[in-house]
Structure 1
Amino acid sequence: MKAFTLLTTAMVIAGLNTPLQALAADAGRKAEVAQRGAEVMPFSLQSTTHLFTKSANGGSQRVIAKNLSDEVQIRLIRTHLREIQAEFQHGDFSAPDRIHGADMPGLSQLRAAKPGQISIAYRDVDGGGELVFRSASGKLVSALHAWFDAQISDHGADAMDGHMAHHPGMAQPGSE
């Protein structure tokens, strides 16, 4: 009976420690991503919100300044997204690699896409900019969705699923 009590106590303690360890690792990862993001993105991650919205044929990445009158952040967002669009259209996904790591979900499939398999359009939106990704390949759409999910996870409170965003006055992608 004593052995059973010790085993049960050990299992409870292990069970309680596992979530705490996972949270600490998660917080550490987010801090690393934020630090690397500051080296790649010219705008402030804390001053912006990234919205990732999946669609049947791809999805969109919208970056909005939290302060809609912050013209400096808005200009930096728009400049960066235009540069990223050009890089991505040439198969250069080195920016997300530098921020999130080479093993980021979906990234290797996006890199391997042939020219024209993914269309990437940029447009200005109120308070920022948006990239719209489209592909006729189900495999690439799945890769885009995995890539979006990884970014939402890595950026924490500064990123969210666009379908779940409920900011007053914030139009959903494609509604402007």
Structure 2
Amino acid sequence: MIALRVRPAALPPLALLLAAVGCTSADGDASVAVPRASAQVTGVCRDLDDALPSGVDDLDRRDPSPASALTAGWGNPAIILRCGVERPARMNDLDADGVEVDGVGWLLEKRDDGSFRFTTALRRAYVEVTIPKARTAHGMAPLVDLAPAVKKAVPEGIAD
């Protein structure tokens, strides 16, 4: 790390403010939007939160902010799970890519930034898992770790 010595009197007030903001510590934890789900889906998502593993793809659980039973994360950059998301429009596309991992069906979407987004199919709540580009080398390994919890907590069926 390079240390710079700056004389505060020599800096204009805006530069001081920017320097202070730039020097504050940040833990790099993710921040995600919490889905707005019905009471029934929220109950399913709470059950899923209780069933989720403490580790995914050899990464420790580090939930994003704001804290919610509808979101979970592992590692940094984080693999993010959001439960109770809206049905993705891409599910209406007959040419959409899908995969099955240990009995759980997922819609696969490769995003413009190189990350992958997987969304459960044929479950009573839509569960979305986003794998950042930096973690895509392990393929679907995170889904292998998450499938048992999804099978246990999110009943098969069609989400409302």
TM-score by length of 2: 0.31
Q: Larger % of helix: which?
A: 1
Higher relative contact order (CA 8 A, sep 6+): 1
